[in-house]
Structure formats: structure tokens, C-alpha cells
Amino acid sequence: MDLRAKLQTATKEAMKAKNSARLSTLRLIGAAVKDREIAARGSDGDGGELTEADLIAILSKMVKQRQESARAYEEGGRLELAQKEEDEIGVIQEFLPRQLSETETEAAIDAVIEGLGATGIRDMGRVMAELRARHAGQMDFGTVGPLVKRRLLN
């Protein structure tokens, strides 16, 4: 079952179960997807169909936004709002691919560097692009960048 169908099924199930918190988050996801489809349709004239990678990117962005919000709420002493953000993160992450562990991430980096024959820092862009193509949604590229840089400098 593709991601779009999983989201629609989960939304229907949340409605039937009267789970308002989950339903609210799923509707936010649906709205973000719809927004992106409309933007895609207007810019290049095609049907605005999003690929699986596009949907994963939307979900990843939503998780990152909620993590930042939760951190801000915690710093401001608004723990109930921080918890709400954490709950939304949990729902969104159900639809994302499994995150790679630290050792799996390092192995993926090594494999890409070896596969591309990358030898120096000037190859970093190629390595990052290949990692994004192979492991979209499976790793946090904000933390992967410094790891790749360190590997290429050694």
C-alpha cells in the first residue's frame, strides 16, 4: 500500500475510533499534501501528482517543525503544548521509513564514498546527493553532513 493510501486509511480509522488528537494530526498532514499538490500544479502545469519521495519530504519537514516547536515550548515552560507537539511527531513518524541507526548511517556513508570514489571535500556535494537519493527520510541530513565532511577530510 502506498503512503497516500495509508494516510487515507489511517484518517478513516481515526474518524471511526473518534480519536480526535490523531485525526487532527492526520488532517494536518492531508492539508500539507494538498497544499504541495496545488503549488506543484500551478508551477509546471502537470497534474500536481506527488511522488512517494515528495510525501516523505513533507512528513520529514513536519516532524522537524514540531521538534523545534516542542523545544521552544519546553524552554518557555509550556510543557502541555510541548507534549502535544511530541504526540503529533509520533503520529507523523508512523508514516516515515525507519530511521537508520548510527552504525547503519556510518556504513551507508562509507558505501557511498567508496562507490563514488570520493577522495576529498570537493566531492561532498556528490556524496550528499547520493545519500539523499538512496536514503531519503531515513536519516537526518543535518547530522549526516558533518560526518561526511569528517570522513572526506581523513
* For the chain, percent of residues with pLDDT exceeding 70: 95
**CB distance 14 to 26 below 8 Å:** yes
Same domain, 112 and 131: yes
**CB distance 85 to 79 below 8 Å:** no
Q: Cα-flanking dihedrals φ and ψ of residue 27, to 5°?
A: -70, -35
**What integer is the mean pLDDT of 5-15?**
94
Closest among 68, 62, 92 to 81, alpha carbons compared: 68
Same domain, 16 and 41: yes
Same domain, 73 and 49: yes
The more confidently predicted of residues 145 and 42 is 145
Same domain, 83 and 107: no
- pTM to 2 decimals? 0.73
Q: Is the pLDDT of residue 45 over 60?
A: no
pLDDT at 1: 66
Same domain, 80 and 122: no
Same domain, 18 and 79: yes
Same domain, 9 and 85: yes
Domain that holds residue 135: 102-153
Q: Is the pLDDT of residue 84 over 70?
A: yes
Would you put residue 137 in left (φ > 0), alpha (ψ -120 to 50) or beta?
Answer: left
Give start and end residues of each alpha helix (H) in 94-123. 102-116
Q: What gap in Å lies between CA 57 and CA 54, rounded to an integer? A: 5
pLDDT digits (tens, 9 = 90+) for 52-77: 878 888 998 899 899 999 999 999 99
* For the chain, percent of residues with pLDDT exceeding 90: 50
**What integer is the mean pLDDT of 76-99?**
92
Domain stop point among 62, 93, 124: 93
Distances (CA, A) of 52 to 33, 146, 150: 11, 27, 31
Same domain, 40 and 58: yes
96 DSSP assignment: S
Work out how many domains the chain is built from and give that number.
2
Same domain, 79 and 146: no
- Burial (CB < 10 A; 0-12, 13-18, 19+), residue 152, is middle
Same domain, 66 and 34: yes
Closest among 62, 83, 59 to 71, alpha carbons compared: 83
